[in-house]
Amino acid sequence: MKPTPKKAGTMHLDNVAPDSLQGIPRQRVNPPMWRRTSDEDAKDTWPAFVSDLKDLGININEGRAKRAIFVTDAGGLSYGMPDGVFSPSSATDIAEILKAAQRHVVPVTVRGGGLGTEGEAVAFGGLLLNMSSMQRVVDIDAKNLTARVEGGIFWHELAEVLRRKGLDYISAPLNFTSTVGGVLGVGGVDTNSPKYGLSADQAIALKVVTPTGEIVECSPTENSELFNRVILGYGQFGVIAEATLKIRKFTPMRMNYFYYSDLRTAIEDLRVIVEGEASDYSGILTIMDRAITLLVGFDSKEREDEFTKKTEPKLRGHGEIGFGLRMAIYYAFRPWKIGESLYLLKRRLLLFPDLMRREFTGKDGEIVDRTVIFSRAVWKHWGSKKMTIPDLAAPEDKFIEAVERGNAVCKKYFKYYTLYCVGIKKKQDAGDNHYEMSCVPKDAVNFAYGCEFEPSYGGGKYSRDKLQSFKNEIYDIGVDMDLSCYRFGGMMKGYIRRLFGDEVVERHLKMKQEADPAMILNKNTVF
């Protein structure tokens, strides 16, 4: 093929070269690899770091097979290899690691369940601190309803231990294969967040290892400044070695489902339930904007009966049979959409049986083990090698517009996709700065709302550029509407200043520099 002739007076540019988009700043989606050699004295600092720790009885695993386990995260778009991996067994181990890292200026990336989607827990050189080795339940106080756990325990493991004692967590993330420490650092949202708030709001005390290696017990009344920085701090101000959480008595979950074909109507009904505090669980799960399910759950029949009497008459959703008939009529007059109708039917036939399996539900349809259902079913039906789930978090009055605009972006990029919408009750006594740079927007009053936008790949192949462009358009909505979001670190950290403003970011950066002089803890994740 002959090259395209150059036009007179113009310069020919390679369409894929770094300078191909002149005048448009290009965002770097992966940070540069850490250099093992010090710029000051040209010495290889990594062996000295490893040697110092070995003298203390801490052996870093430098084997390629071990390091390769952590090469990416649930997003599957960001890849990096640590120089070594260590799995601690105590806060003392973590403290020695961070002290040595400060001396040798070696970056330490902390990883729990690895469920980040933007490379937040992917190490680009340096040490990968694998917290999933710390999974003990330290103490359960059934009288005062608290549980002390290590930061690396998975939520489903905690729930299983509590269940044996007739107890349960209060609010956990939707995916139970994340760790307690990781979730407390970013928020944690579930269908009971409209009633109880974020998972992070259930923490009442922490054992934190600071970036300089001090082991500190903190709470809202003891070392409160550190406590408030670590909670919702995106791993910038310390490693959570242990956490004391509020818990509750276990109750089965009674579920009701309402079906919609109009997204705005479903969201308006969700707001009625959330802001009226009419249920114990609620959320929206959709298949595109065509089949929309409003989930409403209860901890007791009394609460369910009250809802049926006072709130259900206000809702405009349909039962499954009525909705099915409406959909059948809709597609009967639109034969060109046969592919879409078959896709919806297939998703219903695959998904519903998994959410209602007999071994996890009681004879009256109560869910007696939502731990297994959510941790397994969520990953089975919504997980993949590339979890692309950008999100927007909005105050009450902006939520509908945010979801509708995000839905339009989904339709632009993908044939099939899912939306997950949920309310979040704000902690009213949290203080002015508690939710700064978090998934709760600054102008939310009593409740915030979040929505995840997730493509369904269906075996299709999508380039990294296309997925990145999709995420950018979602986050651009957040910038335009002055919203917040749940995942803004890692590859998407370019949005942090745009979302929160220079004043807030500079203030947090100054706190980070004071707490972490060598800037080694979770380097390049946020700042």
What is the reported pLDDT for 13? 46
Among 389, 354, 385, residue whose Cα is nearest residue 372: 354
Listed in sequence order, the DSSP H helices in 395-501 are: 399-413, 464-481, 496-500
pLDDT tops 70 at residue 30: yes
Is residue 462 a contact partner of residue 469, using CB atoms and an 8 Å limit?
A: no
Work out the pLDDT band at 374, boundaries 50, 70, 90.
low
Question: What would the mean pLDDT of 402-431 be, rounded to a whole number?
Answer: 92
Alpha-carbon distances, residue 328 vs 160, 266, 285, 334 (angstroms): 42, 20, 20, 10
Enter the tokens of residue 292: 């929309």
Residue 352: C-alpha distances to residues 320, 347, 377 (Å) = 11, 8, 10
Region 416-439: what's the mean pLDDT? 89
Task: Name, in order, each residue with C-beta under 8 angstroms of 235's C-beta and a sequence gap of 6 or more.
Answer: 110, 120, 182, 185, 521, 522, 525
Q: What structural domains does the chain harbor? A: 133-251 (3.30.465.10), 254-496 (3.40.462)
Q: What is the pLDDT of residue 465?
A: 85
- Name the residue type at position 434: H
251, with CB counted inside 10 A (0-12, 13-18, 19+), is middle
> What is the side-by-side strand order in the sheet with 254-260?
254-260, 291-298, 281-287, 417-425, 447-455, 391-395
Would you place residue 2 in the very low, low, confident or very high pLDDT band (cuts 50, 70, 90)?
very low
Cα–Cα distances in angstroms (integers) from residue 10 to residues 13, 164, 179, in the given order: 9, 74, 56
Q: Are 425 and 367 in contact (CB under 8 A)?
A: no
Quick one: pLDDT band at residue 434, thresholds 50, 70, 90?
A: confident
At 51, which helix (H) or strand (E)?
Answer: helix 45-55
DSSP 458: T
Range 403-406, long-range pairs (CB < 8 A, 24+ positions): 403/263, 403/267, 403/451, 404/263, 404/264, 405/477, 405/481, 406/451, 406/453, 406/474, 406/477
Each residue's pLDDT tens digit, 63-96 = 999 999 999 998 888 999 999 999 999 999 999 9
Neighbouring CB atoms inside 10 A of 431's CB total: 11
Q: For residues 268 and 151, what is the distance between their CA atoms, to the nearest angstrom?
A: 37
Q: Do residues 260 and 292 make contact, with C-beta atoms less than 8 angstroms apart?
A: yes
- Tens of pLDDT, residue by residue over 10-22, are 444 454 544 544 5
Q: What digits encode the pLDDT tens for the residues 36-64?
A: 876 666 567 999 999 999 999 999 999 99
pLDDT-based confidence at 486, cuts 50/70/90?
A: confident
Three-state helix/strand/coil letters over 314-348: HCCCECHHHHHHHHHHHHHCCHHHHHHHHHHHHHH
- How confident is the model at residue 500, as a pLDDT? 92
Q: Which residues, in sequence order, are CB contacts of 70 under 8 Å at separation 6+?
A: 82, 85, 111, 114, 121, 122, 123, 128, 130
Query: Residues in the chain, how many?
Result: 527
| Element housing 193 (H / E) | helix 193-196
Return the pLDDT at 378.
Answer: 66
pLDDT tens for 149-163 read 999 999 989 999 999
Average pLDDT, the chain: 89
Amino acid at 521: L
160 exposure class (CB count in 10 Å sphere: 0-12, 13-18, 19+): middle
Residue range 120-142, pLDDT digits in tens: 999 999 999 999 999 999 999 99
